[in-house]
Structure 1
Amino acid sequence: MAQIDDLAFFQRLAHAGSLTATARELGLSLSAVSKRLKQLEARLGVELASRTTRRLTLTAEGERYLARGAAILEELHELEEALGEQQTELSGPLRVNATFGFGRRHVAPLLSAFCARHPRLEGVLELSNFPLSLGDQAFDIGIRVGEPPDSRLVARRILANRRVLCASPALVASLPRLTTPADLAGCPCLLLRENDSDFAVWRFQRRGDPTEEQAVKVAGPLASNDGEVIVGLALDGHGVALRSWWDVHQHLASGALVELLPGWRGVRADFHAVYQQRRHVPARIRAFVAFLEEAMAGRVPAMAEEVAGDQGRADGGGGSRLRGSWRK
């Protein structure tokens, strides 16, 4: 139906944010996109958006058309997905958002392997410094660090992760003995300036007693907004780094980096795959999230504390398994 096509076109236009971006995504000329929007407005008898070639702002009528139209399209997609699940082969779009470092290292190869298994999928991976909105940007899955604050999202943990304090053996040999996080105030530290975070304050928990925390303000001669650069500087002996386990476990295993302050540990920074709550979650989304949960374990070894926790549970200790799904 023409009305359904118009709803899908306008949703694409609103998400793209401009006529130019929409034309690029659809592979059409700018004039063709502009003409179609004019025809849609003429059919409805209202102005849906004020626009230039670079920016598009929805009117009140446009906002209403977008919101109600999105609900209609979602109902249609759910119906088609429910019917399509009778097929054995996954198909359709699979749009994923992740951060640059983790996305390049792990999500990209796993998406590649998953789409190789299911060639009818249309996979898209968009990497960004900041997490992008699933709804506003039309992503199916987001890879997030920490617990997502949005209660409308379902989250499944795909990797247990914690930040690790480490440095090169040569630098460690030149440092005074560290006994508490406060001792870092006199050490050269490598600062990661990203996402407007409080990069000069490092937080720690006492091992064995996570309720006891310490925060220390650090400083150092070098800083970067890229985690890979920070790891490289640490390997070169320029300073102490606080990096995620997934990023440095290989260097710790090889001895290129040494963990510091064994009585303390950095705060948790688990990775979750998140997606929007809905009555019917498409099979391709559920399958890819399950694939991430299974495959990630083979790419990043479990932290020592996770292995000990699993062993304790196997020996009859209490506690719930960390893997699984939860709704915030």
Structure 2
Amino acid sequence: MPALDDLAFFQQLARARSLTETARSLGLSLSAVSKRLKQLEARLGVTLVARTTRKLTLTPEGERYLARGALILEELAELESRLADTRSETLSGPLRINATFGFGRTHIAPLLSRFCHAHPELQSWLELTNFPVNLADQGFDIGIRVGEPPDSRLIARPLLKSRRVLCAAPDYVARMPALESPQALTRHECLVVQENGTDFPLWRFEPVGGGPVQAVKVGGRLSGNDAEVITRLALDGHGVMLRSWWDVHAHLQSGALTALLPGWQGVRADFIAVYEARRHVPARVRAFIDYLEQELPRRVPPLPESQVILV
């Protein structure tokens, strides 16, 4: 139906907030996209988009058309997915996933590769970003995140328990100032990952066994926006870093890095899969999350006794 095609077109336009990006994603010319928008507005008799030189802003009518239209398209997708589920056990259709760069490269990408080998009728898209994206606006089925979901409309499934670990290379440990408590980190060279406008250089710790969290503002000569770079600097003995267990466990087990402050531990950094709440979640989404929940703990060893997560 032309109306459903128009709904899908406008949903794409609303996500991109740009005629140029919409044209690129749909494989159309800019003039074709502009013409189609004008035809849609003429058919409905309302202005859906306020155009500026840099971006598109939805009018109140556009917001209403997008919201109600998204429900219609979701109902249709759920109906088709439900019918496909009853027709065959084969997983098929699009599977769009968002994850962070480091964890996405190291774990999600290889697991997605294996999953797609097992289900060759899937069409997958993995997008890695330094920050969580809005699943609905960007058209993602699953987001892989750390911590609690910021949106109550999202369903969260736990995937992997983790925690920040304070560590340094033995070379730095041999010559570092005394470190009896988190507050003593102000006297240390701290290797800071600065990204996403977060409050990194504010490191948080809690006593092993429970107790109030202590936050310490740290600093040092060397910092960067890439975790792999910071890990390399720590391995070279430049200072102390606070990284997730999944990222450093191999270095700790080999002795290339040493865990510090045994009476304290960094705050939890558990990984979760989030997806939109809906009456019928496509089988491909459920199956991939089940697969991650099964396989991720096999790729990352459990935290040692001193870093046990208390639930």
What range describes the TM-score normalised by the shorter chain of this pair? over 0.9
Corresponding residue for residue 258 of structure 2: 258
SS of 1:278's equivalent? coil
Task: Find the counterpart in structure 2 of residue 192 from structure 1.
Answer: 193
Moved more, 40-49 or 271-280: 40-49
Deviations 1:249-302 (A, max 9, x none): 111111110101111110001010000111111111100101111111121111
1:305, distance to aligned residue in structure 2 (A)? 3.9
- One-letter identity of the residue aligned with 1:239: G
- Offset of 1:53 from its aligned partner? 7.2
Q: 1:183: which partner in 2? A: 184
RMSD: 1.7
Structure 1 residue runs without a partner (length 5+): 310-318, 323-328
1:271 match: 271
TM-score by structure 1 length?
A: 0.90
Q: Does 1:206 pair with 2:207?
A: yes
Residue deviations 1:89-137, cap 9 Å, x none?
1111111111111111111111121112112111111111110001111
Query: 1:39 corresponds to which residue?
Result: 39
Quote the Cα distance in structure 2 between the aligned partners of 1:271 and 1:217.
25
Distance 1:193 1:308, change over 3 A: closer
Q: What is residue 71 of structure 2 aligned with on the other side?
A: 71
Give the residue type in structure 2 aligned to 1:49. V
Q: Mean Cα displacement is larger for which, 38-47 or 275-284?
A: 38-47
Q: Secondary structure at the match of 1:164?
A: strand
Instruction: Tell me how far 1:306 sits from its aligned partner.
Output: 9.6
Residue 216 (structure 2) pairs with residue 235 (structure 1): no
Greater alpha carbon shift after TM alignment, 213-222 vs 230-239: 213-222
Is this contact kept in 2: 1:202–1:217, CA < 8 A?
yes
Contact residue 190 and residue 219 of structure 1 kept, 8 A? yes
Question: Secondary structure, in 3 states, of the residue corresponding to 1:298?
Answer: helix
Residue equivalent to 2:123: 122
Distance 2:23 2:52 in 1: 13
Q: Deviations over 1:196-239 (max 9, x none)?
A: 2222221111112x223322222211111111111011001101
Residues of 1 paired with 2:183 and 2:307: CA distance? 29
Are 2:192 and 2:200, in contact at CA under 8 Å, matched by a contact in 1? Answer: yes
- Paired residue secondary structure (2:128): strand
Q: CA deviation at 1:308?
A: 6.8
Residue pair 2:167, 2:257 contacting (<8 A) in 1 also: yes
2:6 aligned partner, one-letter code: D
Q: Which runs of 5+ in 2 are unaligned?
A: none
Deviations 1:34-70 (A, max 9, x none): 1211221222122211335752221221111111111
Q: CA deviation at 1:178?
A: 2.1
Judge which range, 226-235 or 49-58, deviates more. 49-58
SS, match of residue 253 in structure 2: helix
Q: Secondary structure at the match of 1:89?
A: coil
Confirm whether residue 297 of structure 1 aligns to residue 297 of structure 2.
yes
Count of residue correspondences: 310
The amino acid across from 2:160 in the alignment is L
| Cα distance in structure 2, aligned partners of 1:40 and 1:65 | 11
User: 1:307: Cα distance to partner?
Assistant: 9.8
